[in-house]
Structure 1
Amino acid sequence: MLNMSINSLSRRRFILQTLKSSGFCIASSGIAGTLTSCGGDDGTFEHGVASGDPLSDSVIIWTRVTPLKPEHTNSAVTVFWQVATDPEFNQVVVSGSAKTTAERDYTLKVDIGSLQPATQYYYRFLSGFRSSPVGFTKTLPEGEVTSTKLAVVSCSNYPAGYFHVYNAIAQRTDLDAVLHLGDYIYEYARGEYASENAAALNREVLPETEILSLADYRARYAQYRSDPDLQAAHHNQPFICVWDDHEITNDAWRNGAENHQENEGPYATRLQAALQAYAEWMPVRPPVDSDIAALARNFQFGNLVNLNMLDTRLVARDKQLQLSDYFDADGTFNAAAYGADIGDPERSLLGQDQRSWLQHQLTTPAKWQVLGQQVLMGTMELPAAVVTQQLSIAEFAELAQLAQLAQTNPEALSEAQRQLLAEKGPLLQLGNLPYNLDAWDGYPAERAALLASAQQIQGDLVVLAGDTHNAWANNLRLNDEAVGVEFATSSVSSPGLESFLGLTTPESVAQTESALTQLIPNLQYANLSDRGYLSLSFSPSEVRAEWIFVSNIQDTHYDLLAERNQSLTVAHGSKQISTS
């Protein structure tokens, strides 16, 4: 166990050492072979199997063994594994064995190498006379590629509702990979965030308390990975994952988090526990040495898609600004102080090492340069009166219409409308503010630097985001020049702005979605109420983004919500969303 403060070791080395020491076995392997039994009867595979971080010649496979006998709970368990090109395992291409122990919570990861590119594989694990479920995975293609299909998902909150979104992804047979952009688990205790119906749904969290220790984080992952829909998605698709904040705790940054208090112990201890559990339970490739690329990983789908997965949370993020800190005692907003802080050129999400790594990766020739990361990059500024909750979005839109009418046809105003304008009209002149300073809007200098770099690359920039629990599409511009696009996925189950804004009817949702796309210049699409995922189809000529939603998360049965699905395209070379 590492026993140190974050300041006693660089954040990057701290994270890398934790990940490298957790949850990975070096397995022996052999070419071909048939395992009819392994002897003994050591454990079961209650948490299923998973694969992840596919490359053209390798992929991670994962499982966890639940020891059957009490005497095995403190001893090593031997697990055999096989990889084949057919689901019956008549054509086994590689097999081997490894041991796992309580030190890594009986999880097991194997990096299977010497595979063929663009090839489908089946895999399984065996313990004694018991076999795991069969998993399906595939390697990435090389060379000339004409099609890549990805599903993008984030924010799965167990007590909020059923994981139907994972079930829908599991049924896809055309995907090359699933990108999970974080908030795979949530840290809260029972009765807290999004838990209103948890008892009725039999989805109350384990442990009952907020998770702080390694045992807590392990138990929470075990509960999530017991969900049949999440298991199905992992069984059927290779995942490429990054963490966001809730894998640790809400609004994490490099030295702390909003949801970590002094009476909960040192933040460094909690961070270490969270990262160790993540390394044990997630199908991610362990870091190599101290290279930042081990955290910010690159995946190449031939010459079509160059995917870079980023860490905007733990390595370098400066603490988030809070708008409430800039209001004086009399309620006056201190614009000068806010402007100085928000404009600080040193404020960072990525850090210099990760920025340099990314700039190098973006030189890789590909039609589409894709960033998989956590938070919205698009400029999402709203009228200050809305951000400070003096007016709702609908009220602001109505007031703006009245102000326009007062200029063009003042006689048409009623007396009540005149009084409303006299009282509230000055709020229209307050300017705009970012609604979420946890996103790239809170770090505009680094965003501008990244977009400036993107202007120089070969290929078109596509940024992916999660975090907000709602679906968005943005044009990314710098100095009024098109640089790329951003597609943001909705959540698996976490509630979005519809809950925060109290949008209880389809009419109020539609009205607010329309108002947002009018108020935010580069926002091309918003869905504020539905749970779902983002499906991306890349070709040399275009990328097509389709948001796919489920009808509910409160009932065991669901349908795809076809009437709310949305599809947008970006022609290669245009660097902006098509309006046709």
Structure 2
Amino acid sequence: MKNKLFLLCLILLGFQSVFGQNDYNVRSGLKSELAPFYHGVASGDPLSDRVIIWTRITPDSVTQPGEVLSLNWRVASDVDMNNIVASGTTSTSSVRDFTVKVDVTGLAPKTCYYYDFTFDGRNSIVGRTKTAPETAADSVRFAVVSCSDYENGYFNAYASIVERNDIDAVLHLGDYIYEYVAAAGVDGRLAEPANEIVTLSDYRTRYSHYKLDGDLRNVHQQYAFISVWDDHETANNSWMNGAENHTEGTEGTWVARKASGKQAYFEWMPVREQSVDSTRLYRTIKYGDLLNLYMLDTRLEGREEQVGATSAEINNPDRTILGVEQYNWLTNELDNSTAQWNILGQQVMVAPLKAFGAILNTDQWDGYPAERTKLFNHILDSNIQNVVVLTGDIHTSWANDLPHTGYNASTGAGSAGVEYVITSVTSSSTPIGFPSAIISAANPHIKWSDFTKKGYLVLDINSERVQGDYWFCENITNSSTNVSLGNKFYVNSGERFLRNAGSESSRNHSNCVQSPMVTDPTNSLTDVSNSLVWVGAYPNPFEKEITVQYNAPSQGKIKVKVFTQDGKLLQTKDHFTMKGLNYLKINGDDLNAGVYHIQISDSKNNKLVRIVKL
């Protein structure tokens, strides 16, 4: 072994050059009463007889890389967890970042259930979920969200959705996390790790950071999520073989980065992994005879590279945003649908958007017009009824008809369906470049737009119509559940165009009692555990660099020691740490392959983590 020292570098999110000594601006912390399930619980992809339940364990003690940890899970019909209807044992390890997913089967349709996990004698919080109907359903209500940038504001949209308690599930249309270098847009909200996330360990750490947010934890606890990724779960403006925000070589290969982003997504999100392809995201979720929900992947599955608006390639008849396999899957699903409503959940705007005859954004379906025309032709030629598209991505709100040949804006004739574009939860609004009056004049199929407000959509579906209500947050710079109704549009069954609604959809939608939540007055988890806690070490084993995430109970000095496997002390360092979550980055270029231990300690506690250098 080389008798050299590690290069140790403490990465603190609230470093002094940015925020000084203001504790509020440093790091989120852990809720000690949640241990060891600090990231809460979640559920997703509900079917009529099953649902995914999810959690993550933060082990108290040192684990061997790959060591398997066993835990128990339960599902009950009551919030007190007395009437257990399903239970079992599952396992996890560092191989999947100690995340846990169980596909619970044998459940009753259209039923509320409660669930929890137990590890080492301690229970998680109780989650609530709801299965889809099997046949008839009078109505279904979704909250639809997208684009949740932690740094740009508080997740007040999530808090409002929890408070209203009148929906069946949450649809997240992507950009659940953002990959950028940390740069807080709102006081107290700074992402971690501080670098742009590129590796599997980076993506895992960013998900860990997001899921410690109180509002995000609460909305996952109360509702099943049906989710797809957009670009920022990997890199901005991604496509099948690359991304605008990826530099081949200096940021590794796109193949490796895309695989890492996908792996972390499936580890950290309550998404069902498919037997045909465990990394395929597009899928159908059925809500009885009322609706089929087709969740699409317009980013990574088959999209060709974006081109400029004046490029001749833009009109290539073979150009695709879905890829041939996904396009054929979608049209086959539509052809064979027996549901009254066909709802597409996807990422980028389908409706055309032009000004003075010029395409404004080729990252949208405008950049793939031949495939859009082919899809609209298929819908109309096959007489596929009641097509509703849900879209995120552009951080603004739009209500659109989907115009095809001979479209008449006054009557709606010639429309293939309708589209609700949902604003962001927090992400900054994308500049359009033209006032709304010019946009409306140039695009008569656009019935309404809002370019500034943040919030969510409530989508209310029954046999007569689908209505979308746009709800906007009072602000995102402070924690608040205050929202106001922005606008509302509906489409009648058998029609293909939007109408203005006179009032919001009825809130008289029955829902079961909520699970008890851990209170979090600041919604930023600034309060915390009274002891040192290891949260994670990424990656482990490692080749060059490893990042250790831990929670400190207070601001002050800690001591960091590095030992060989046989206990030989290599180095002792004193470091200043901030209250809450901190990151210790270790470069091991000069270290031989082997097993080592890192110990951190304060005046009352010490924690040891075992690491392996490859």
Tell me the equivalent position of 2:469.
Answer: 546
Q: Distance in 2 between matches of 1:43 and 1:75?
A: 20
Decide which of 423, 434, 449 is 2:359's aligned counterpart: 434
Tell me the equivalent position of 1:76.
Answer: 68
Is it true that 1:464 corresponds to 2:390 in the alignment?
yes
Alignment of 1:115-126 (within 5 A): 115-126=107-118
Tell me the equivalent position of 1:491.
Answer: 424
State the 1:76 CA deviation: 2.2
Is it true that 1:449 corresponds to 2:374 in the alignment?
yes
Contact 1:365 1:459 in 2 (8 A): no
Is it true that 1:572 corresponds to 2:493 in the alignment?
yes
Tell me the equivalent position of 1:379.
Answer: 352
Under a length normalisation based on structure 1, what TM-score does the superposition of the two structures give?
A: 0.77
**Change over 3 Å in CA distance of 1:114–1:524 after alignment to 2:** same
Tell me the equivalent position of 2:252.
Answer: 265
Tell me the equivalent position of 1:369.
Answer: 342
Tell me the equivalent position of 2:199.
Answer: 213
Contact 1:374 1:467 in 2 (8 A): yes
Q: Distance in 2 between matches of 1:220 and 1:49?
A: 17
Q: Distance in 2 between matches of 1:173 and 1:120?
A: 13
Contact 2:160 2:481 in 1 (8 A): no
Q: Distance in 2 between matches of 1:42 and 1:134?
A: 11
State the 1:520 CA deviation: 1.4
| Matched residue SS, 2:332 | helix
Decide which of 121, 131, 143 is 2:123's aligned counterpart: 131
Under a length normalisation based on structure 2, what TM-score does the superposition of the two structures give?
A: 0.72
Tell me the equivalent position of 1:476.
Answer: 402
Tell me the equivalent position of 1:247.
Answer: 233
Contact 1:42 1:72 in 2 (8 A): no
Contact 1:42 1:77 in 2 (8 A): no
Contact 2:160 2:482 in 1 (8 A): no
Q: Distance in 1 between matches of 2:81 and 2:182?
A: 43
Structure with the higher fraction of residues in helix conformation? 1
State the 1:451 CA deviation: 1.0
Q: Distance in 2 between matches of 1:109 and 1:97?
A: 11
Q: 1:389-427, CA deviations, whole angstroms, 9 ceiling, x for partnerless residues?
A: xxxxxxxxxxxxxxxxxxxxxxxxxxxxxxxxxxxxxxx
1:460 maps to a residue whose letter is: N
Tell me the equivalent position of 2:515.
Answer: none
| Matched residue SS, 1:561 | strand
Tell me the equivalent position of 1:360.
Answer: 332
Q: Distance in 2 between matches of 1:520 and 1:289?
A: 41
2:139 maps to a residue whose letter is: S
Contact 2:153 2:185 in 1 (8 A): no
Q: Distance in 2 between matches of 1:322 and 1:463?
A: 25
**Change over 3 Å in CA distance of 1:42–1:381 after alignment to 2:** closer
Contact 2:39 2:56 in 1 (8 A): yes
Q: Distance in 1 between matches of 2:352 and 2:375?
A: 14
1:122 maps to a residue whose letter is: Y
1:520 maps to a residue whose letter is: N
Q: Distance in 2 between matches of 1:78 and 1:72?
A: 14
Q: Distance in 2 between matches of 1:434 and 1:165?
A: 31
| Matched residue SS, 1:44 | coil
Tell me the equivalent position of 1:504.
Answer: none
Structure 1 segments, 4+ long, off by >3 Å, are 71-74
Tell me the equivalent position of 2:46.
Answer: 54
Q: 1:143-202, CA deviations, whole angstroms, 9 ceiling, x for partnerless residues?
A: 1222111111100001101111111112232212111110000000023xxx333xxx22
Alignment of 1:120-199 (within 5 A): 120-191=112-183, 195-197=184-186
Structure with the higher fraction of residues in strand conformation? 2
Tell me the equivalent position of 1:351.
Answer: 323
Contact 1:81 1:123 in 2 (8 A): yes
| Matched residue SS, 2:42 | strand
Tell me the equivalent position of 2:77.
Answer: 85
Q: Distance in 1 between matches of 2:480 and 2:34?
A: 36
Is it true that 1:286 corresponds to 2:238 in the alignment?
no
Q: Distance in 2 between matches of 1:341 and 1:76?
A: 51
1:437 maps to a residue whose letter is: T
Q: Distance in 2 between matches of 1:515 and 1:322?
A: 22
Tell me the equivalent position of 2:212.
Answer: 226
**Change over 3 Å in CA distance of 1:543–1:103 after alignment to 2:** same
Tell me the equivalent position of 2:478.
Answer: 555
**Change over 3 Å in CA distance of 1:123–1:42 after alignment to 2:** closer
**Change over 3 Å in CA distance of 1:554–1:371 after alignment to 2:** same
2:286 maps to a residue whose letter is: Q
State the 1:73 CA deviation: 7.0
Q: Which has the higher contact order (CA 8 A, sep 6+)?
A: 2
Equivalences, count: 459
Decide which of 275, 286, 299 is 1:300's aligned counterpart: 286
Contact 1:81 1:125 in 2 (8 A): yes
2:89 maps to a residue whose letter is: S
Contact 1:245 1:252 in 2 (8 A): yes
Decide which of 259, 262, 286 is 1:275's aligned counterpart: 262
| Matched residue SS, 1:70 | coil
2:338 maps to a residue whose letter is: P
Q: Distance in 2 between matches of 1:104 and 1:463?
A: 34
Give unpaired runs (5+ residues) of structure 1.
Answer: 1-40, 327-337, 384-431, 502-510
